[in-house]
Structures are given as structure tokens and as C-alpha cells.
Structure 1
């Protein structure tokens, strides 16, 4: 092997190592950044919502009404989404409520965009018209959202008194059987 070939092989090995380390670092950094973004997104959204709540309380007139409608819409949809997630996590039967909520969420997104337009409207008279018109739609979405949560609550099958009575009776029978079993085997051991 001559000197040129050895230098070429060493150079290729060094390039491969540097390239491997670079790709590994890029992957690790990108995963870290994406993880950081995913962890900080809920906090950022919560801070935005809190700022909107403060501005809505401090602002009067039609602009304040529009902001309050946005908050009410967002909170209602999020509460329903959390309720559905908990019900699914508990393996509760939800029927068509997921598809109904999907449709409701799409309507909520359209309504949110219209409320944003109303919020940026400079004329208070036009804002008042938006607030009146969109207020009815927000109320419909909120009522439907509440209806979904109510349906989930009604579908949950809590234990009734009869269930507790059966459970207590079964437990008493098991206790008597264990007591007799213990006495029988204790008597056999003494013989």
C-alpha cells in the first residue's frame, strides 16, 4: 500500500466519523428542540388565554363582549375534549359522541375565526352587530358541548345500592367459607 492510498483511507474514515457525529448531534438537538416546543406549547396557550381573560374583563362594550364569547367558546370546547379523553381512557362507551364533537370542533374553529374578525373590527357599531349575531352561535356551540358532557355523565354506570348489597353478601359468604375452611384444616392438623 502506498502513501497516497493510506492518506485517502484515513481521510475517508475521518470524514465518515465527523459526518456520523454531525448527524447524531443534529438528530439529538432537533429532538430536544421539538420536545421543548411540545412541552412549552400548553404553557404558552395558557398564558395567551389568561391574557385574553384579563383584557376581556378590562374591556367594556362590544369588544369586551366579543372577547368574552371567545373565552367561553374555547373553554367549553376544551372541557368537552377533556371529558371525552377521560371517558375513552376509562374505556367508557362513547357512541357517536366523538364524531359529534369533531363536527362541533370544526364549527367552533370557524366561529373562533369569525370572532377574531369581529375583535379586530375598528367600528364599535359593527362589533356590536358581530357580537349579537355570533353570540347566538356561540351559545349553540356551548349548549351542544354541555350536552355531550351530560351524555357522557349519563352513560357512566355508577354502582347502585343493589351492586353494593350483592358485593357485601358475596363478601360475607366468602368470610364464612374461609372461617369454616380454617377450622376444618386446623382440626385435621390436631388429629
Structure 2
């Protein structure tokens, strides 16, 4: 389960991190639906096993995990075959500085801007833990919605594996509730 949670965290960091955007996003509570796919190798099997383990978590353990993540600025609202659904908060300061959550120093991934327009960012990335290389893009639909995708190549149990991910993010409202912005 630890590997798959690390992969889910890595996916979120990739989807939300990166260069500054040119589109004016709304501050407040956002929800992101992220889906990841890994071929048919050992990594895909590990991800499938993690989904089953998370789905079978007793209510008390699930609540503890959700509370821990909320303190870190992430609210998990769904885990399953359709991916991970989570909430995050963009503060007015983050919007003004064009920073997305999880965009922190030392996160383990370096993103290099390839191109940027008013509605799109393309980047390459290199991650240390787990070691991976890839590319991604973010498309800004409007101030209350954006989509993203990424592709990663990584070694897992001695084999080169490929992970593809995509996400859809939408603004839910001005108030973030218990989910604090990561600043």
C-alpha cells in the first residue's frame, strides 16, 4: 500500500505542481478527479492491490487517514476504480502568486517549462522518489476548471514501466472549510 500511496501523491504533485499559469483561477475549494493507468506489469498489479486495500480500510483507519491528509491540505473524497477524488484549497495569495498546491521545494520532482500560453502549460519532469521521467500538460478551461495529463517512465522491480495519468479539476466555492491551503 505504501508504494501506491506514494504514486498517488506523486501524481497529485505532478498534476498540481509546475510552472506558474497564465489563466486567472478562482481562489477557494477545488476538487480534482485523478485517474492513473499502468500497463500490465508488476506496477499495475501493485496499483490494483492498493485500490482494493484502500477500499477495504475500516472506517476508523479511513477517518484517521482523511484527517491526516486534511491537515496537509488535501481532502480525499473518493478512492476506487475510477481513480482518486480529492479536494484542495487555493488561497487568494496562491492565486495572486500563480502557485498551485503541492508546488513546494524539495517535493522530489523537477519540472521544466516547455511552453506556456494563456490556456495551456506543457512541461517535462524528472522525479527522484520514485525515480521517473516524463512529460505533462495543463489546460485551463475557465477560471473554475482545468484539466491535466502526464506520462511517466519508471523502473519498477527491474522492468521499465509506463504510467499515464489525467485529471479534471473544478472549483467548488469560496470557502475551503477544514481543508487548509498549502502555503
Structure 1 length-normalised TM: 0.20
Structure-2-length-normalised TM-score: 0.20
Q: Which has the higher helix share?
A: 1
Greater share of strand: 2
- Higher-Rg member (1/2): 1
Q: Which has the higher contact order (CA 8 A, sep 6+)?
A: 2
